[in-house]
Amino acid sequence: MNELLRPAAGPTLFHPTRIRHLAQLLVATLVVLLLYSLQAAADELQMRDADTAMELQDYAQAYRLYNAMVEKRELPAYLPLARLFSQGLGIPVNQGKAARLIREAAEAGYAPAQTRLGELHENGDGVALDAATARAWYEKAAAQDDARALLRLGGLYQLGKGVNRDYKRARDFYQRAADMDYAPARYALGFLHEQGLGMDRDFAAARDLYLQAAQGNHPPAMNILAFMHRVGYGAPVDYAQSVHWLRLSSGLGDAAGQDGLGYLYQYGLGLTRNYNVAEQWYRKAANQNYADGQYHLGILYANGLGIARDDKEAFKWFSKAAASDHPQALFELGKMYEDGRIAGRDYRKASQLYRKAAELGLADSQYAIGRLLENGLGIRENFREALTWYRKAADQGHTEGQSSLGFLYETGQGTQADPIQAMLWYDLAARTGNKAAIQHRDILRGKISDEQAARALHDARNWEEASLSLTLEREQLLK
């Protein structure tokens, strides 16, 4: 029986041979882990070096490092290398190569690349414009909790791009991203609250979300906070707050922030008026191809504010802004052509520019194109169309548009003569101090009956009250 209880012959757990084998295995494992850690550290260092080269605009070095990492299938290097190809930074532009790199990383499961590929499809940037495909890639990345993908999905539902517009789903996606401390998502949520999209309008909630986004270094949130405090939009007027947020935004290189700070300097809002400093900030924004900055810089040159008046420079900057369909820049260019400040008067070119800005809803241009049509300047005389444009301007409260509209109704040009309508529009323009309208109204008053005059003035008051009601409603919402 003692024999039965004796352990079987052979190596035990603590047998020298077993211990030696275990030690060898442990050493091999440690060596593998050490080599892996060293390689990971080397890759991280190489990525950091590549990012530094990118920041220093040493694009040749950045390309060499990123490309070497891509050859080793290091997925984080794919997107910056694609950017070099897409923007032609240090290498020839190659949009096809950029798209292939993004797609390869996306198909390998790299969430940021999946989001970027979705963006390319959403915008038709080098690939087929396809909102459904964009959504599919966003959903893949969102499944990995990619905050930017969640933001983009929310955007699709907010705008109804490739899906039925659904503000609730948009809000849910934004909220998921916001819960990850993603500042752009908090900004997007703030916009829904501000506009009352899918919920009651709530300026307090919007302002809080914008503040959170701004504290996360999100320039658009800083800019909207600055605007709210500048004009009293959902917040008390506080120029110091406007200056504060615009300084932070512009300090991050944001073009809109730079333009906004220039505006405060130009008009002396919260700062001592200084056209020279305004020009410096406008130029920074303009050099980033920001249309408002280009337009404002053009205004300084056109009027000699802080710098010598220079029509050529004004024309240059207005033209740059107009290329982005900036309505005010189009109007200013039209004025330059009409006034002969370029190379002699050119009513035809002026009419083209005025019409484009008018179609974008600018009241000044709606009146201007109406005036050229009424007088046949650069385009064929057309009273009916002139009346249409005057009415659009008049409905926006444009006093010259109202007076001119009254004149066409009085004389029956482009429409049947209608003294009541003429009196109505003359009176509205006269209430703003328009001298021509006052004169025409008083003369017309002697030509029409008391009943007609009373009806016209009654209609004018109704129009004014309706307009005032809309204004008060907007102001109440802002408060």
Pick the CATH number of 382-479 from 1.25.40.10, 3.20.80.10, 1.10.357.10, 1.20.810.10: 1.25.40.10
Residue 283 corresponds to which tokens in the numbers above? 């130029």
Q: What's the pLDDT score for residue 280?
A: 97
Question: What is the phi-psi region of residue 304: left when phi exceeds 0, alpha when psi lies from -120 to 50, beta otherwise?
Answer: left
Question: What is the pTM (predicted TM-score) of this model?
Answer: 0.82
Q: Which residues contact 157 (CB under 8 A, 6 or more apart)?
A: 163, 165, 166, 167, 169, 170, 173
Position 85 scores a pLDDT of 92
- What pLDDT, on a 0 to 100 scale, did the predictor assign at position 32? 55
Q: Say what the pLDDT of residue 34 is.
A: 55
| Residues in the chain, pLDDT under 70 | 1-15, 18, 21-23, 25-43, 468-479
pLDDT of residue 126: 84
The pLDDT value recorded for residue 197 is 94
Which pLDDT score, from 0 to 100, does residue 349 have? Answer: 96
Closest CA to 420 of 454, 443, 386: 454
Distance CA 228, CA 239 (A): 10
Tell me: the pLDDT tens digits for 95-122?
899 999 999 999 999 999 999 999 999 9
| CA nearest to 334, candidates 313, 357, 301 | 357
pLDDT of residue 12: 57
Closest to 21 (Cα-Cα) out of 32, 10, 13: 13
